[in-house]
Amino acid sequence: MNIDILLKNIAVFFVLIVLQILIFNNIGITSWKIIPAFFLLSILLFPFEIPDWLILIVAFLIGLIIDIFTDTMGLNSASCVLLAFLRPIVLRSISPRGGYDAGTQPRVHYMGLAWFLRYSSILVFSHQMAYYLLEDFSFDHFFRIILKVIIGTFFSLLLIVVSQFLVFRK
């Protein structure tokens, strides 16, 4: 992996964390205060060549930082580690026939909108499901949890996909 790509990913990591903490954590959608998880983009955009163990560690650190600033006691850490664990499985299941080309990244401009929507929606949905199930920690309000997951996934994906066209280009 190129040092420029590594430095760019580190910069994206810090910018997304700051945006999440300062802006998106203060947006409460519906009366349940559903917060869009825009910071997940930092995990989703890691290049294909990065080892899976490194992504797990970075995902834990990202979740821990968000947990510290939002006082969510490990909910984001656990959910981000699940997302990082599922990422290679999802990448293998939706890989092109010839595999991924060297130097490409999981972005709309490299892989196409349909591929990126499949990739990000599966992982963001998994994160949101884990987050809200752990937050409630019961199935007493199952339909409310499902509704929160759907709304959170929709708004998170909306922000993530829009950012692909506005900021993250080739």
* pLDDT tens-digit readout, 72-94: 889 999 999 999 999 999 998 98
pLDDT grade for 114, boundaries at 50, 70 and 90: very high
Residue 133: CB partners within 8 Å, gap ≥ 6?
A: 145
Instruction: Select the more confidently predicted residue: 168 or 158.
Output: 158
Q: Does residue 162 contact residue 45 with C-beta atoms inside 8 Å?
A: no
The dihedral formed by the CA atoms of 127, 159, 41 and 143, expressed in degrees to the nearest 10: 0
User: Residue range 138-163: average pLDDT?
Assistant: 90
Residue 25 has pLDDT above 80, yes or no: no
CA 165 from centroid of its chain's CA atoms: 17
Residue 131 has pLDDT above 80, yes or no: yes
What's the pLDDT at 27?
A: 75
What's the pLDDT at 85?
A: 97
Range name among 30-34, 82-86, 146-150 with the lowest pLDDT average: 30-34
User: Residue range 62-77: average pLDDT?
Assistant: 91
Chain mean pLDDT for the chain: 86
Residue 156: CB partners within 8 Å, gap ≥ 6?
A: 36, 37, 38, 40, 124, 128
What's the pLDDT at 170?
A: 58
The dihedral formed by the CA atoms of 135, 36, 163 and 19, expressed in degrees to the nearest 10: -90
Q: What number of CA atoms fall less than 13 Å from residue 149's CA on the CB side?
A: 23
pLDDT grade for 168, boundaries at 50, 70 and 90: low
Alpha-carbon distance of 154 to 113, in angstroms, equals 16
* R_g of the chain computed on alpha carbons: 16
pLDDT grade for 1, boundaries at 50, 70 and 90: low
